[in-house]
Structure 1
Amino acid sequence: MADDGIRPDWINKDYYAELGVKKDASSDDIKKAYRKLARANHPDSNPGDEAKHEKFKKVAEAYDVIGDAEKRKKYDEVRTLGATGGFPGGFGGTGGGRGYNFEDLFGGGAQSGGLGDMFGDLFGGAGGGGFGGRRTTPRSRPIKGADVETSATIGFTDALEGVTISLRLTSDAACPDCNGTGGKPGTKPRVCPECEGAGYVVNSVGGAFSMNETCPRCGGRQLIYDESCPTCRGSGRGTSARTIQARIPAGVKDRQRIRLKGKGAAGENGGPAGDLYVTVHVTPHRVFGRKDDNLTIDVPVGFDELALGAEVKLPTLTGSPVTLRIPAGTPNGRTFRVRGKGFRRADGTVGDLLATVEVQIPAVLDADAKAAVEAYRDAMADKPLRTSLLEES
């Protein structure tokens, strides 16, 4: 099994309840619940609120497990076994006339893979330390660091071309004073009397089913200090503030969530760092808008330009202006497409510039313009535009 497999503490943690979703929730529902809770409890938005900081870490831990399809499957299996107290008839019992051989179920003999591999991965090897077998010392598994959420605001032009930004991040890390030991600097540790240095204790979950759990006194460190670190109060954890450079790709949309792999909180026991999720906010532009991967622009024109045809200059977001040729008789509100002047897509292609012509009516006409409009009206007098509206059906 991979190093990021199942963990013994899963049986006592209800990650579905932590995210406020049902056990049969879809992956999209789980993701939405996580994003909502992460935003509400993010340390950057709640400075000094330890309760929300702790909630943020629990939410991130829950999403790291049930937000991953493979981990979620293993988590559900462990929780189901814990809730039922093991297997029908116990281990080696009759179970309604049928016996269950411990070695067959949890490793050894011809039964390789399946439950044997699963619980071997959980408890650090064959023998099933918490299942009535010999007490073995579990392996210290690398643990992936927590994912980190943040947000950034960029300009409209930066969204078109892509930009590198600086992000100031605060995340969970080892206490800087005790280096994660939890003990007062300068003091010496001793073997934990609760677990006798094993780092875990064996607890009965029901019937013949028991599990190894992290020692509540030493937290799995195997050692304890008589005097706790005053900075972290014995937890061994602290916060780390750092500044990173993040590349926002070209074509990013407003409120789009960008994943930066390995830029989150540091892992434990040599585990990989978590990921950083950046929600990007794009400021609106004075002239341009956006529709999918296309730029949009409203072009003010005169009646004469639509009636007689014209050539008008259009700005582009980057580069030189382009010339738009308007054919004679163009209706008001028509949209023209200028190829290759929009946003860059993920596949390398580029969207277009969509220019919509809008007739502007002058509020005041001088004498010459008024005379010209009146002459036009007289010329069109025998061509009423609304005749069809008055016809009986």
Structure 2
Amino acid sequence: MTAKQDYYETLNVSRNATQDEIKKAFRRLAMKHHPDRNPGDQDAENKFKAAKEAYETLSNEQQRAHYDQFGHSAAHMGGSGGPGPDFSADLGDIFGDIFGDIFGGGRAQSQAQRTQRGNDLMYTLEIELSEAVHGTEKRIEISTLEHCESCSGSGCKPGTSPTQCQRCQGSGQIHLQQGFLTLQQTCPNCYGRGSSIEQPCEGCGGAGRSEKRKTLAIKIPVGIDHGEKMRLTGKGEAGANQGPHGDLFIQIRIKPHPIFKREGQHLTSEVPIDFVTASLGGEIEVPTLNRKVKLKIPAETQSGSVFRLGGKGFPKTRKAHAGDLLCRVNVETPVKLNAVQKQHLRDFQALLKDDRTHHTPKSKRWFEHMTQFFKPTPPTQ
């Protein structure tokens, strides 16, 4: 069985390629290998199918993230955080361009005469761990296409309206006779709109849309996770020909915290303790997300022991129960000792010497395993 080629290699793009680069790469391959351009060529058909499969995965941010992590086995797994952007329109536009190039541009440009939904936008928002725990409100600034305020997206000068194209009689298409064939082609006068703008709007030059920067207030819910996506319906780009807006997707990234790490609803923390407290037991202060709390350390605690503080992790949400704080203790070796302190340690070592294995059971077991490992193997009979 032949191993499936890496999707990035199939499209000949780097692993950090932008969506625009991925789309352009697929369009180039689709134009080259499409079956309608290569009738009867099985190799071209296979290459076209491979490019289409790669594009369908890499053009979807959630599927791409799964593919980057798990490879082909999870290329079509669904992601968390709600539905992702709808890229079916992009695929349709690409195929429309292909058929348009073959048959005179009819299908691709004919879409212009209909209102079109605006493109979805993606914005990466970085927040602090404490903001993910308690929830917050963030203000972001994005650049997007909006319907022109002067003409409300029509592209016409205020007080005027488009006129029906005389060449195509409003259909957006013209028909050309070539021998026994009648070919349909986008009207070159109105570019498929079916109408012409005699007096274009001065605010947008007749485009109906213009680029603007706008500020949005984003409410971050309690307990949101790293990599989760929030969908803001209707906050994407304005559609062409007065079409509806696309959606805005906010992808959350949580900054690394100097003390805590998140594991689901739980938090983990590395807590240093001195070897005296580890040996005799005691009480230490440890930080939580809200305040410091007391943690009791039992006598004879070993490095790596984990203590659970219930309810001190992420708070309860509609999706999950409250988490805990898991404190993993690390017994520190004293450093920068003076002569007196070193002598006290030597005296202490001497006190343990006669019965050392009783006080250090792990060392005893390790020594027994080592002895067994180096024990000569008896000869086989």
Which TM-score applies when normalising by structure 2?
A: 0.62
Sort the Cα spacing of 1:66 and 1:189 in 2 relative to 1 into closer, same or farther, 3 A: closer
Matched, 1:322 2:293: yes
Sort the Cα spacing of 1:15 and 1:151 in 2 relative to 1 into closer, same or farther, 3 A: same
Counterpart CA distance in 2 for 1:206 and 1:278 is 55
Matched, 1:237 2:209: yes
Counterpart CA distance in 1 for 2:59 and 2:52 is 10
**SS of the counterpart of 1:356?**
strand
Aligned to 2:52: 23
Sort the Cα spacing of 1:230 and 1:23 in 2 relative to 1 into closer, same or farther, 3 A: same
CA displacement at 1:165 relative to structure 2? 1.1
Aligned to 2:139: 166
Aligned to 2:306: 335
Counterpart CA distance in 2 for 1:255 and 1:291 is 13
CA displacement at 1:347 relative to structure 2? 0.8
Aligned to 2:120: 147
**Alignment map for 1:27-176 (pairs within 5 Å):** 27-32=56-61, 63-65=87-89, 143-176=116-149
Spell out, residue by residue over 1:48-80, the C-alpha distance to the aligned partner (whole angstroms, 9 max, x if none).
xxxxxxxxxxxx99924268xxxx7x998x999
Aligned to 1:275: 247
Could you tell me whether the CA contact under 8 Å between 1:61 and 1:146 is conserved in 2?
no
CA displacement at 1:366 relative to structure 2? 5.4
Aligned to 1:4: none
Aligned to 2:190: 218
**SS of the counterpart of 1:301?**
strand
Aligned to 2:69: none
Sort the Cα spacing of 1:249 and 1:207 in 2 relative to 1 into closer, same or farther, 3 A: farther
Which TM-score applies when normalising by structure 1?
A: 0.60
Q: Which runs of 5+ in 2 are unaligned?
A: 1-22, 31-49, 66-83, 358-362, 376-381
Could you tell me whether the CA contact under 8 Å between 2:228 and 2:251 is conserved in 1?
yes
Which is richer in helix? 2
**SS of the counterpart of 2:122?**
strand
CA displacement at 1:301 relative to structure 2? 0.4
**Given the alignment, which residue of 203, 221, 226 partners 1:249?**
221
Sort the Cα spacing of 1:316 and 1:206 in 2 relative to 1 into closer, same or farther, 3 A: farther
Matched, 1:347 2:357: no
Tell me how large the CA RMSD over aligned residues is. 4.5
Aligned to 1:125: none
Q: Which amino acid aligns with 1:275?
A: D
User: Which deviates further from its counterpart, 305-314 or 196-205?
Assistant: 196-205
Q: Which amino acid aligns with 2:306?
A: T
Counterpart CA distance in 2 for 1:236 and 1:227 is 13
Counterpart CA distance in 2 for 1:191 and 1:146 is 28
Could you tell me whether the CA contact under 8 Å between 1:183 and 1:224 is conserved in 2?
no
Spell out, residue by residue over 1:370-389, the C-alpha distance to the aligned partner (whole angstroms, 9 max, x if none).
45423321121122647444
CA displacement at 1:180 relative to structure 2? 2.9
Could you tell me whether the CA contact under 8 Å between 1:214 and 1:220 is conserved in 2?
yes
Q: Which amino acid aligns with 1:160?
A: V
Q: Calculate percent identity across the aligned residue pairs.
A: 31
Sort the Cα spacing of 1:194 and 1:180 in 2 relative to 1 into closer, same or farther, 3 A: farther
Sort the Cα spacing of 1:244 and 1:206 in 2 relative to 1 into closer, same or farther, 3 A: farther
**SS of the counterpart of 1:373?**
helix
Counterpart CA distance in 1 for 2:212 and 2:94 is 30
Count of residues paired in the alignment: 300
Counterpart CA distance in 2 for 1:277 and 1:28 is 18
Spell out, residue by residue over 1:321-358, the C-alpha distance to the aligned partner (whole angstroms, 9 max, x if none).
33322222221122222222222466131222121101
